[in-house]
Structure 1
């Protein structure tokens, strides 16, 4: 089907399955292509700066506490300040972006920021990616020219150590926060969503098209690794030596790009929409709440959340929330152009709160969050935090759910 906003209703009706309404079919087509209805604020691209720093250094870094971590990030990334790193106008967290070209193909485009504003050490990591032509065809042969320097395909670690735990997901130096946050949210609600069929080191996952048709994809345990540290170059696990999130990331890239071999261009999944990812993982159509801070909106969305969480306050359906690209988020420690997993809600001292997780497994807001624990999870650790609900509505952009 031509992926163009000018497709006539008559043409769409000829292609529409009999058991779908025209509205469902049209919305599905728009969501699959991420064009033309998605805006800049609907596409999330932020990468984990710690993973980028470790890729530049070629080693695992002992980060210490968050204050020490950010001091080291400023030094390694060549930033003028911590705020500089999270400034959406700079290219520290989004050196590359996934785009859709005029023909509907998934392609690369560099950030709109000029080349000279990108620190040399960051540019050197992404030189192979940044030199790809925006109209390049997806390759169906094994071409590893896209791999950053000092990154290669290797089998390292163990797929599972204690089974697949959704809160082990740790985003790397690739802007696929939308996919990893959605994978975490789905697994948080139902572990079956993050299970694969495993046979002799080969893993088969199921993803769903916008027509909700299941499609299986099989991959080996070879993943892009930093050749110096033997650690996953992109998505990984907070459990040392475990690689199942990286294999899922690879499987998604293979399926999403239509790759026919075992070494897909994983970098092509940089940039996407959290709602689309939820549908691709679960096979269920997604809906969303646009967030803005009014009293009536607070009651409406809180009431809906209350109905879709259990007696412990945990979500019963997968949900993610994204942020827009507005600069004001960064002063609070909320990353712009990013997607977070929604874990649940709570009321503490008569104040409504929502519990979220950053797929970086760190970097929580500096204000409006409480300390302590929630359902056995330490707040402020592993990217998990409980933020006041009114501030959530003010600082976040769109809540997606299936």
Structure 2
């Protein structure tokens, strides 16, 4: 690229509302227990709990609960916030469905409220063993969870719309727990940010991109020893306080505040039933299972356990999320900021807010696939990005039918690859820390031009993967990248 003219950035957008809730974290928070997402039944579990067909969960046009608080604009090309007045709370009565046990003929459907059969949309129709099997969409018979209608629990858990704004925020079935004893700074372990039950992939992807391109930019926990008197005598005991201080920089617009150093303690929301972290967590942390003390010992010792990680690491990703929420909500006096206020934002600006660099935007619509690959390559050394780089998807596409590529989602750009010097790929990392789970005969859904596996791409395909937890890392051919993604951004 020596001597070539640098790619000129585009005019920054006025607003970006990027983000989708991590369905795995959301379902675990609802159920209060850890689930194995590599099982073939995982898609059915997600669909059942979130009340949406699996293939419709990841596209904004279907208004799934993963997009709580945002909707497609009139043109259908970007996400826009849903006004608070248009957000509705569902009760148990709203979710009750009619009794179909006495339906024997199509005409009987009129007795349960289906008066206009000829106008009802047929979603699926096929013959099987001489039987005609129909799937109808009778919207008038009952409500389901969606982006603008949800239960009180989900509204408080994963949206920024508070019912009682005067009370200090805590998630439903959650408690602020001091995680200071979980502090373990181990340079041999990877601690990638994994998104939780808030729709803030824009922030989690930005965090990962900054940590990947320049680990020295990331601040870690500090611990302070103090002496507290036990009695009136001279006896005392030591307590260790864990905290993180990080400088955040104002870049204007929403999800912003005056430049400041924000300090947070190590209290984080955990689920009362499972003791798991409910929001952002490190990929290397074995989530505390049914026995918190035992799980903590396992994690602190670097052992493997149930969860998305393999032990070791520390909690800096969760503390960064907390610090960012404290900053944008001006909650300087509270150690319990509302983490859901980080929902939907601008991943490119977030990288600038974390580093005090300039946010540069490059939209895919005006560029060829090779131009986009060239843009990535100019910000790489030895196949790895050295400037924080992110990309975000279109809000809707016929291709978004699984959890690897998700509509209106931000991803970290880690570098590029050309295995066997043939096809060229852009390497991305999913903020959910996972790609499509395994099923019989392969994956549940597939994407043209995408190389993904539950364990991530391997070192033979892309050598730098050995420097990162590979889960959630996948590759996409340059031409397909342009099709799936709306834009890319760099902080430099």
Which residue of the partner structure matches residue 112 of structure 2? none
2:269 aligned with 1:224? yes
Which aligned pairs between 1:160-179 and structure 2 lie closer than 5 A? 160-163=184-187, 168-179=192-203
Q: If the length of structure 1 is used for normalisation, what is the TM-score?
A: 0.77
- Alignment RMSD: 3.4
Contact preservation (8 Å) 1:54, 1:61: yes
Aligned pair count reads 348
Supply the distance in 2 between the matched residues of 1:357 and 1:198 (Cα, whole angstroms). Answer: 28
What is residue 108 of structure 2 aligned with on the other side? none
**1:231-255 per-position Cα deviation (integer Å, ceiling 9, x unaligned):** 1111111222543211111011001
Q: Kindly name which structure, 1 or 2, has the bigger radius of gyration based on alpha carbons.
A: 2
Contact 2:426 2:478 in 1 (8 A): yes
Counterpart position of 2:472: 383
Aligned to 2:27: 53
Contact map agreement 2:156 2:162 (CA 8 A) in 1: no
Bigger mean CA deviation after superposition, 331-340 or 153-162: 153-162
Shift of 1:150: 0.1
Structure number having the greater helix percentage: 1
Q: For residues 175 and 43 of structure 1, do their structure 2 counterparts lie closer, same or farther at Cα, with a shift above 3 Å needed?
A: same
Confirm whether residue 63 of structure 1 aligns to residue 37 of structure 2.
yes
Partner of 1:7: none
Matched ranges for 1:308-327 at <5 A: 308-311=379-382, 313-327=383-397
User: 2:59 touches 2:397 (CA, 8 Å); kept in 1?
Assistant: yes
The equivalent residue for 1:198 is 222
**Are 1:85 and 1:93, in contact at CA under 8 Å, matched by a contact in 2?**
yes
Structure 1 residues 216 and 320, CA, compared in 2 at 3 Å: closer, same or farther?
A: same
After superposition, give the CA deviation of every residue in 1:165-202 in whole Å (9 maximum; x if it has no partner).
77621101101110110000000011122223624212
Q: Report the secondary structure of 2:353's partner residue.
A: helix
**What is the SS of the residue equivalent to 2:474?**
strand
Q: Provide the C-alpha distance between the structure 2 equivalents of 1:286 and 1:111, rounded to a whole number of angstroms.
A: 33
TM-score normalized by structure 2? 0.63
Determine the C-alpha separation between the residues in 2 that align with 1:399 and 1:131: 26
| Aligned partners of 2:219 and 2:245 also within 8 Å | no
Give the conservation status (yes or no) of the 8 Å contact 1:152–1:224.
yes
State the match for 1:83 in structure 2.
55
Residue 401 of structure 1 aligns to a residue whose secondary structure is strand
Query: Which has the larger displacement, 281-290 or 106-115?
Result: 106-115
List gaps (5 residues or longer) in structure 2: 1-10, 72-80, 91-142, 225-241, 287-298, 300-313, 437-444, 452-456
Aligned: 1:344 with 2:415: yes
Query: Against the structure 1 CA distance between its residues 230 and 114, is the aligned structure 2 distance closer, same or farther, given a 3 Å change threshold?
Result: closer
Superposition pairs for residues 12-27 of structure 1, below 5 Å? none
Residue by residue, what CA displacement relative to the aligned partner does 1:214-265 show, whole Å, maximum 9, x if unpaired? 5201111001111111111111112225432111110110011111221111
Residue-by-residue CA offset, 1:71-112 (whole Å, 9 max, x unaligned)? 321233233x211322313232122359xxxxxxx9984887
Q: Which residue of 1 aligns with 2:330?
A: 258
Structure 2 CA distance, aligned partners of 1:113 and 1:319?
A: 37
Q: Is the 8 A contact 2:373 2:426 kept in 1?
A: no
Q: For residues 122 and 171 of structure 1, do their structure 2 counterparts lie closer, same or farther at Cα, with a shift above 3 Å needed?
A: farther
Q: Distance in 1 between matches of 2:322 and 2:188?
A: 16
- Unaligned 5+ runs, structure 1: 1-26, 99-105
Q: Give the one of 368, 374, 377 matched to 1:303.
A: 374
- Report Cα offsets for 1:328-386 as digits up to 9, x if no partner: 24136410111000000011342110000000001358222235432253899511001
Task: Decide whether aligned partners of structure 1 residues 289 and 96 sit closer, same or farther in structure 2, where only a CA change above 3 A counts.
Answer: same
Deviation at 1:125, TM superposition (A): 2.8
Match of residue 103 from structure 1: none
Q: Distance in 2 between matches of 1:236 and 1:388?
A: 30
Query: Structure 1 residues 97 and 162, CA, compared in 2 at 3 Å: closer, same or farther?
Result: farther
Name the CA shift for 1:91/1:107 in 2 (closer, same or farther; >3 Å). closer
Structure 2: how far apart are the matches of 1:388 and 1:113?
A: 41
